Amino acid sequence: MAQPKVYVTRRVPTEGLELLKKSCKVSVWDSDDVVPKATLMEQVAGMDGLFCTISDIIDKDVLEAAGPSLKIIGTMSVGMAHIDARECAKRGVQVANTPDVASDSAAELTVALLLLTTRRLAEGIQAVKTGEWGLWRPMWLCGVESVNRTLGIIGMGRVGFGVARRMKPFGVSRIIYYDEFQAGYAADVGAELVDYDTLLRESDIICICCALTPRTRDMINASAFASMKKSAILINTARGPIVNHDDLAQALTQGDIAAAGLDVTEPEPLPSDHPLMALDNCIILPHLGTNSKETRINMATNTAMNITAVLCCGQA
């Protein structure tokens, strides 16, 4: 029997490709750049499986181009908003992501960005490079410590719990979280479930770790900033559209909150002329949440296993 055919939309860790090649005929867009849509539609025709990334828009046009042979789309990501799940369901195409393998990397990056922002480290690095660094000055580039602060986490899933667990040794006095559901394991870090307004009002540092849904889209807006402490620091490593960027720029400019650290934006990359790009109290990273060698290998192999489970074993 002929091997099932799989198209891979990006250059990915070889561990994932080698796993696929054991049981599938694999074609790869051998580039770090996004495959052009026209090329994707041409190459996906007649494929049994599609190995994609979060940057690939898998819409009705792509699914139509793939044809009835397509059985599984494996995305090398946690998020699946780039895939038209409803259209996939209509066509009987299974969709699989990698929810378990990136949590530690994302939580670690969240804590790193938190410290980078609260201690004003990026400003310090820039001061060294520009020659602003001089003799010791008592009031220069004073950040805030995490000790005795209230940490608020929006979304106590794997990443949110990972952030709470890592921040506990830093001496935060209280960990509170807002989620639609109470997380039983939150008790392991002494986290307290509160309502949304309480979290906004009482947190010194707010970490956004929830999924992007119609309910969470734009949830951090002008009204939310008005409820926060003026000394509050916002960290978003979840999804860009959860925060209204125009409202954030205004809040940071007029002192409604103290600072923000973003690993995700809307759009990505954020245009260089966006007001947030000019603010010293806004640290922006280029979506590095899962950028560790270990996590990327695990994501690639997990995606490959998802695809082969369907094509070779008949199960997701």
- Give catalytic residues, as residue numbers: 287
Query: What CA–CA distance (Å, rounded) separates 196 from 198?
Result: 5
The string over 192-229, giving b where at least 16 C-beta atoms fall within 10 Å of a residue's C-beta and e elsewhere, is ebbeeeebbebbbbbbbbbbbeeebeebbeeebbeebb
Give the residue carrying structure tokens 């044809």.
67
DSSP calls for 274-308:
SGGGG-TTEEE--S-TT-SHHHHHHHHHHHHHHHH
Question: Cβ contacts of residue 129 below 8 Å, gap of 6+?
Answer: none
Burial of 313 (0-12, 13-18, 19+ CB in 10 A): exposed
Cis peptide before 269 (omega within 30 of 0): yes
- Our CA angle for 37, 40, 41, nearest 5°, is 90
Side-chain-facing half-sphere of 37: CA atoms under 13 Å: 9
